[in-house]
Amino acid sequence: MYAITGATGHVGGAAARTLHARDLPLRRIVRDPARAGAGDAVADLTDPAALTAAFRGCDGAFVLLPTLPNGSDADHRRMADTIAEAVHDSAIPHVVALSSWGAQHATGTGPIRWLHHLERVLGETGAVVTAIRSPHFQEKVEATLGAAAEAGIHPVFGDSADVATTMAATRDIGELAATALARPPAASEIVHLDAPRYTERQVAERLETVLGTPLDVALLPREAWEPTLVDAGLAPALATELAAMYDAEARGLLQPAGDRRHRCVTELDDTLAALA
């Protein structure tokens, strides 16, 4: 039996679907009782007792650290600690954790610093830990689809729209997580993901094709990043954290590092077609 947190999201959902397609037993962990189906467990990632009960008896678990829109640094670290506490107390033998490029750094990376903390505390639980460090998600364009469809703008949070960035499809990440659960390593490892690379101008060109709408690529100055993110519907605290992450990328901190590399193969066109 494999426990899956975030099963209603992109990566966790892909992991759950992959396990199901392979006829492997799974236990989805959901926060909302209304979304729980047969065999699911209801637990919040801030509730150590409920999460421990959800993990207990499983051969492995997929865990992630969701971003709390109005959460503080302490809130996110406390949630990571709760996940680790549940892993330890349930005696689950193997955990697959969604992490990120740049998680090798303890500070200076915006919200990625919380994944550094998650990796560290999971490593102290006694479980074998597979940390999957992902680059940008191809699905990140969801955050700006409104601007694209309504205003004909593709905003770029950087100095250039012509620098190629590695972008992985979440379905590839979820499939890897499911495979790691079904075939656990003998010892803890960090897997860094490689994937197709695209410039933001190429992303805009592909979005134009999918939406049937011409798009203007807009380079946003640093002082406009946070207001633009807030205008897009993000909480101010989260906008500040994401701006710090974009800063870290500009400084070259978000680089792959790990014990082995895994190549994701889904192209951006397939992801955009599904999103649209």
Based on DSSP, count helices (H) and strands (E) in the chain, helices before strands: 10, 13
Handedness of CA 250, 194, 22, 60 (dihedral sign): negative
Which tens digits make up the pLDDT trace of 69-111? Answer: 899 999 999 999 999 999 999 999 999 999 999 999 999 999 9
| Those residues with Cβ within 8 angstroms of residue 174's Cβ, 6 or more apart along the chain or in another chain | 10, 11, 12, 13, 14, 15, 16, 17, 18
CB 80 within 8 A of CB 21: no
Q: Which residue has the tokens 């192209």?
A: 267
User: What are the φ/ψ torsions at residue 105 (nearest 5 degrees)?
Assistant: -100, 135
Give the residue-averaged pLDDT of 158-174.
95
State whether CATH 2.40.50.100 applies to domain 2-275: no
| Cα separations in angstroms, 8 against 11, 15, 17 | 9, 10, 10
pLDDT 10s digits, 107-143:
999 999 999 999 999 999 999 999 999 999 999 888 7
Write out 185-233 in H/E/C secondary structure.
Answer: CCCCEEEEEECCEECHHHHHHHHHHHHCCCCEEEECCHHHHHHHHHHCC
19-42: pLDDT as tens digits: 999 999 999 998 878 777 888 899
Note the pLDDT tens digit of each residue in 175-207.
999 999 999 999 999 999 999 999 999 999 998
- Please tell me the distance from the alpha carbon of residue 15 to that of residue 6, in angstroms, as a whole number: 9
pTM of the entire predicted model: 0.94
Domain positions in the chain are 2-275
